[in-house]
Chains A and B, each alone.
Chain A
Amino acid sequence: MSSQLVSRSHDLQRLVDEGYGVRIQGGHLLLEHIPYLESDGTVAHGVLISELNVSGDETQPPSPHTAHFTGIPHEGPGREMDLIIHSVVDQEMVGGLRVRTYLSSKPPSGQYSDYYAKMTQYAKVISAPARAVDETATARTHAPVIVDEGPFRYIDSASGRAGTAALADRLAGGPVAIIGLGGTGSYILDQVAKTPVPQIHLWDADVFHAHNAFRAPGAASLEQLNAAPRKVDYLAEIYARMHRGLIPHPVYVDAANVAELTGMSFVFIAMDASPVKQVIIHALQSAQTPFIDVGVGLAVRGDRLAGMARVTSGFPGRHEHLEKAITYVDEGENEYDRNIQVAELNMLNAALAVIRWKKYAGFYADGVGEAHSTYTVAGNMLTSSFGQS
């Protein structure tokens, strides 16, 4: 966990021990309340921002040696601190902070040994002129450590390392609901739990049985199955190891409680066809809540299985196709239905739905804008319909 990152990293702990206002946010290390001289010679305070290279819950050596600052530090009135200012910028960096300078102070060895060395070097250089004006000016305020890693229990160093944190932030717009935690819904959760959505609401009243274990991510133990947990509780416990926002609702969504979906920024409908699905979709249409409905169909063909996976989107203002694409008839009531499902088709159906959601959210490039897509197993064919690019 991030709180352990400080205690297990000697450099961060030393910054805290010496009274620096340490903040960890969005995969970055921030030192708050650094005194500096404004152009008019008055003392102001800014935030020093560095990348944060971690492995598990321990820091690694900093790289690169550069940093950002929310102010433009001066040597004296009208004299910018040219020694360390690489460039004056104006960009949003992390946590809504706007940085004004990109700083470069390369140590003789070429690389700082740790974050204590890096951050104190910058803080010392930036604040020296301010301290000459006001000797009480200090960065060492003994402010409490703030670790704000959003919904994750440990730092999303994958996005940080890849430089895609700003893209991932586009997924953080609001709470997401998954209705139905069967094969497809559980794999949707597997992907969504790795995004910074603030909350993930899980709706399903079913118990997690052995046959579910063969269509869900991970591997349930016999002991877990014997405990007969609800699907939402079984899955929430697993994904809460990583994501703080899991909210299990061990009930079915129906006309009586569908209003509880109000306020969701996106809804995945991964429940079997039924008249209730129509109630849910009508409610989401009325509320202008974007959603994706998924479904697979498999049948024996000769001595093999054939089938399809379908992803149908209902985005605000784009609902005309829904009645042609989604069935509300419970196939469990007819002779054709043998409820054949296989994990990888549930997983593919889930992945296609999550990719579509991420396109809608602006994470992925989208050249088609489809509202309906199918994968046909025998033909190995992926289609796109009702596009709007």
Chain B
Amino acid sequence: MATTADEHHPGGAPAHPAGPGGEHPGHEFTFIVNGQEQHVREPRVSFEGVVRFAFPQPPSPQTVFTVSYRDAQSHPSQGDLFPGEAVTIKQQGTVFDVFPTGKS
């Protein structure tokens, strides 16, 4: 269940002594989409998946959302995410923002 999360983690990933994220397929990966904590079992998170977390009932199937991420396992660890793309997240601490950016 999604809960409100504090975005102000200390820089980088929280400590996880067993190794970097991605080495424990049985573990959940915890990340944040638009301020809400989310969990997945696999570390690859797609643009489409992030949008579904942010907008479970999309306002319109044609909306092209603007997605940015930071503190990811992927290199680069931050940037923009586009339809058809995915990033590898850390076990904890990767943050996504998802907005329709159509206002002027």
Binding site for B on A (CB under 8 A): 180, 182-185, 270-273, 294-299, 301-302, 306-310, 321, 323-331, 333-337, 339-341, 346, 372, 374, 376, 378-379, 381, 383-385
Contact = CB atoms under 8 A, between A and B. Distances in A.
A265 B7 CA distance: 43
Interface string B73-104: 00000111011100000000001010111111
Interface in B22-42: 34-35
> B7, B68, B83, B84 — which one has the most chain A CB atoms within 10 A of its CB?
B68
B80 A341 contact: no
26 contacts: A180-B104, A272-B103, A273-B100, A273-B102, A295-B66, A295-B101, A295-B104, A297-B101, A301-B34, A306-B34, A309-B101, A324-B83, A327-B62, A329-B60, A330-B102, A331-B102, A333-B60, A335-B59, A336-B59, A372-B80, A374-B101, A376-B68, A376-B70, A381-B68, A381-B70, A383-B80
B64 A327 contact: yes
A309 B103 CA distance: 9
B103 A296 contact: yes
Contacts of B62: 327-329
Query: Considering the complex of A and B, which 3 residue pairs feature the smallest CB-CB distances, nearest first?
Result: A273-B102, A297-B99, A334-B59
B87 to A, nearest CB: 13
Contact of A331 (B78, B84, B100): B100
A331 B104 CA distance: 12
Given A326-B64, A327-B63, A383 B101 contact: no
A325 B64 contact: yes
Interface of B is mostly: loop
B64 to A, nearest CB: 4
A193 to B, nearest CB: 18
B100 to A, nearest CB: 5
A376 B97 contact: yes
Nearest to B103: A296
A296 B97 CA distance: 13
A301 to B, nearest CB: 4
Contact of A272 (B55, B66, B104): B104
Given A306-B97, A327-B64, A334-B60, A378 B102 contact: no
Contacts of B84: 324
